[in-house]
Amino acid sequence: MPTIYIDDNPYEVKEGKNLLDAVLSLGEDLPYFCWHPDLGSVGACRQCAVIQFQDEEDEQGRLVMACMTPASEGTRISIQHPDASQFRENVIEWLMVNHPHDCPVCDEGGECHLQDMTVMSGHNYRDFRFKKRTHRNQDLGPFINHEMNRCIACYRCVRYYRDYAGGGDLQAFAAHDHVYFGRHEDGVLESEFSGNLVEVCPTGVFTDKTLKRHYTRKWDLQSAPSICNHCGLGCNTIAGERYGTLRRILNRYNSSVNGSFLCDRGRFGYEFVNDDARILTPVMKNVETRQFEEVSEDDAVAKIAELTRDKNSVIGIGSPRASLESNFALRTLVGSNRYSSGMSNAETELVNLSRQILNDGPAHSASLKDVEKSDAVLVLGEDLTNTAPMMALAVRQAVRNQPVEKAKQAGIPEWNDNAVRELIQDEKGPLYLATPTNTKLDDVATKTYNAAPQDLARFGFAVAQFLAEESPKVIGLDEDVKSMAKSAADALKNAKRPLVISGTSLLNKSLIQSAANVAWSLCANGKKAEIALTVPEANSMGMSFLEGQGIESAFERAASDDIKTAIILENDLTRRVDSKAWNQFLKNVENIVVIDHLENETTAAADILLPAGTFADSDGTLINNEGRAQRFFQAFEDDSAVQESWRWLQGVLDLGKDTDVSDWYSLDNVFSAMTKSVDTFKGDIVVAPDAKFRINDQKIPRSPYRYSGRTAMKANVDIHVHKPPQDPDSPLSFSMEGYSGKQPSGLTSFFWSPGWNSVQSTNKYKNEVGGELRGGDPGIRLIEPKRNASPKYFTEVPEPFSPREGEWLSIPLHHIFGSEELSAKSFGLSKRAPEPYVALNPSSAEKLGLQMESRVSVKLDGTEHTLPITLHENLPDGVIGLPVGLPDFNGIPLPNWSKISGATE
């Protein structure tokens, strides 16, 4: 560990860092703009100047940019040196020359890195009397607001958008102080990760357009640490509320999961929480009029307790979008053999298979960080950008690892971003993509292979066969597919950290099995192979821990047994089963009890409907695809009857008296009851600090200490200021009161540090820049591989796909915007969702005599849809793609055989 001297004090720093990184990691303050922990240094803004001395004798020193100078042994610098601080002040002064007088109307205000750095550098008076240059803005779509006047030309945005996230439509234009950051013309930013510009841009050029519609300053938000609900990866977020509505989602740094970034679905998909369709009171259907009528909470609970008195007449259908605790409460109420996971049978089987592979096999279940660190990647079947967006971003970083290694050997440190990129140019590490059609990652792939799902699985098995003799042979493979499999196998074998990715999105078992075979055969070759399997929803993996049966099985049970009552938990079943089965189910059961937060077709069928909390107004635990249990906390509490689903069920259980649930007044107790009684959880598991956790006897506040308006916000209703609500489930307080130091990891409701109001304050919460949060990253992995287990290879290689005459295999195509139920109901996101379509390849379209704008009718599972076609160059013959989750296709089981014909208008 090199020792460096800052203003004559010695400090030990980590090898291979630059001075800025080292100084910040030591907890010191030094202004900067163009450097970013995930983007490295380019030395563009000249803000991080320090004086470097040759040796102890040197009194003169010279001005250097800290971000471009390695922190090598014996480096002597001064941050406080008058020349350095004068220089930094002047740099800000020059930046301010053209900066508009906008802070009061700028959404960045109060969390603006430029404001912070201006104050830090001491430039506090404007002397400039001349004219400012101005720019016109662009309309960049529903997510991002553009205000170009505020730009300081730090180039972070384009470096993030193009170099890091692989976007193509944001660019720097023009020259000198005319330089302009935007698109070539007005239009929606194409990248699925554009929302991160809001946090990357140190000024108010790019701000959150959804926040703008209900703008609130950072200091006025009551926030809670949360977990993204919109896919199986479980990215860490901060959910911020004001006046009873959710205002925005911000990234919450977790070095093992999402790091510094989120996808746009996660960031902008929150507005369903404020939707008019929220269920706010318990209602019951009048037997005669069949209309909902409001009932008291007690009556509703008592009625359900009565219906569930005879346990043998009840089934419970849980949900992969509800918390573990709520699902467990339901499972307790109905009994584990009458409890369903709320996923289709097919999905249940695949998720269980995934857990079994991760749990019993020798390959390590990869976190997003592991994905980012891997140096050879094979993707089997997943269109990651649309099924697990942040994993796609991680893969984009992974392909740089091998070339960057070369740069390191050439003596260029990784943080020297421009030099590294100059050296490696377009070189990419190995990434083999096997997907049904083209994906957004194709541009960084070494090779792509597009085929029907079972052919993709055959490809996977072929790769495994090249790596291990014991893995089954694939017979009758095309030569070119075989040679691609060979080169993929070689690349994986030669890598230090090979990774195999697959998942459930195509609902194909063989694909996942083939991925397991590849990963395990790598392990057999002595590699520390990683495997990442994506799952459909936020708590799908959690469902496999609770071991519920599939919906179809539950429906069968409802038909055969004496089932009178069904309790449906946070689940719109009409999205998952076809309408025939659903209607039959409704006929079979007399009473339908639904607990959910948004009105949908299932809640419309309810006899009793109870209001549940969303992720923002309830607490709970989710398990992500990696097997990491993570807790989300309630951001706000309002006066409505909304509460956690498990609390409703606790009320019912309490009246039933079969189970002692008297201590279920707190989430912690429900969670520990679950880990004790469900065998798949082994023993004591601590996901987050419990509700009794205190620092200096104080709770951890949800709001910054400058939270405003406390004595006025509700004064129009009642002049008396009431005590804030109490929270039995967490150590967080519903106010600014409590421990005022840095909140511990996992309980961070906002990042703030004196002098650092912007998101850059995150650095102060880390052990070191780019490293773990102090106190360790939150969450706990419940799945660890059996490293020494000898792999039991899957032996069933599927038959090759053969197109049928007159019939088409319809496979699901996922969309980051639109396929997921809740986010699709959010204002901004709904504007980006595609219209329903049928995708097929141009030659098939030609055969059917279809043109670009043709509409076709698709007969599928007894239903018929007339839809426009979309041409997908690479979709295999005999296969059509249908968008998942769009209203038209709800409940239609895919993949499936269908018939299509040109529509007669």
Query: Does residue 154 contact residue 178 with C-beta atoms inside 8 Å?
Result: no
| Least distance to ligand SF4, CB of residue 765, Å | 20
| Least distance to ligand SF4, CB of residue 49, Å | 18
Prior bond to 453 cis, omega within 30? no
Integer Cα distance of 582 and 795 in angstroms? 36
- Which of 2, 16, 61, 100 is the binder for other proteins (CB under 8 A)? 100
The CA angle 817-535-795, to the nearest 5 degrees, is 135
Integer Cα distance of 806 and 335 in angstroms? 47
147 binds, among other proteins, ligand SF4, ligand FES, none (CB under 5 to 8 A by kind): other proteins
Instruction: Decide the pairing of beta strands 376-380 and 431-435.
Output: parallel
In the complex with ligand FES, which residue's Cβ is closer, 35 or 143? 35
What residue type is 762 in one-letter code?
Answer: T
Q: Residue with the closest Cβ to ligand SF4?
A: 266
33 touches ligand FES by CB under 6 A: yes
65 touches ligand FES by CB under 6 A: yes
Integer Cα distance of 717 and 713 in angstroms? 9
788 touches other proteins by CB under 8 A: no
Helix (H) or strand (E) holding 825: none
| Span interacting with ligand FES, options 34-42, 74-82, 804-812, 860-868, rule CB under 6 A | 34-42
152 binds, among ligand SF4, ligand FES, other proteins, none (CB under 5 to 8 A by kind): ligand SF4
173 touches other proteins by CB under 8 A: yes
- Which of 48, 197, 284, 523 is the binder for ligand FES (CB under 6 A)? 48
Query: Does residue 838 contact residue 848 with C-beta atoms inside 8 Å?
Result: no
Laid out side by side, the sheet with 76-78 consists of: 9-12, 3-6, 76-78, 49-53, 62-65
* Phi-psi domain of 795 (left: phi exceeds 0; alpha: psi -120 through 50; beta: other): alpha
| Span interacting with ligand FES, options 32-40, 385-393, 627-635, 793-801, rule CB under 6 A | 32-40
**What tokens appear for 781 in the block?**
């992995």
The CA angle 282-288-290, to the nearest 5 degrees, is 50
Integer Cα distance of 886 and 883 in angstroms? 7
710 touches other proteins by CB under 8 A: yes
| Span interacting with ligand FES, options 39-47, 559-567, 648-656, 736-744, rule CB under 6 A | 39-47
220 touches other proteins by CB under 8 A: yes
| Least distance to other proteins, CB of residue 710, Å | 4
**String marking each residue 66-95 x if it binds ligand FES according to CB under 6 A:** -x----------------------------
- Residue among 735, 733, 742, 736 nearest 699 (CA): 733
180 touches other proteins by CB under 8 A: yes
In the complex with other proteins, which residue's Cβ is closer, 211 or 462? 211
134 touches other proteins by CB under 8 A: yes
In the complex with ligand FES, which residue's Cβ is closer, 79 or 522? 79
Q: How many residues does the chain have?
A: 905
Helix (H, G, I), strand (E, B) or coil at 213: coil
| Span interacting with other proteins, options 126-134, 357-365, 563-571, 880-888, rule CB under 8 A | 126-134
- Residue among 815, 803, 814 nearest 841 (CA): 803
Query: Does residue 747 contact residue 225 with C-beta atoms inside 8 Å?
Result: yes
335 binds, among other proteins, ligand FES, ligand SF4, none (CB under 5 to 8 A by kind): none
| Least distance to other proteins, CB of residue 175, Å | 8
538 touches ligand FES by CB under 6 A: no
Sign of CA dihedral 250, 253, 254, 258: positive
- Which of 715, 784, 790, 835 is the binder for other proteins (CB under 8 A)? 715
Please list the alpha-helical segments (H only) found in 666-817.
667-677
In the complex with other proteins, which residue's Cβ is closer, 480 or 718? 718
46 touches ligand FES by CB under 6 A: yes
Integer Cα distance of 148 and 144 in angstroms? 12
178 touches other proteins by CB under 8 A: yes
In the complex with ligand SF4, which residue's Cβ is closer, 46 or 156? 156
Integer Cα distance of 148 and 635 in angstroms? 33
Strand partners, 621: 631
Chain residues that interact with other proteins, rule: CB under 8 A: 100-105, 109-110, 129-137, 147, 149-150, 173-176, 178, 180, 212, 214-217, 219-220, 243, 706-713, 715-716, 719
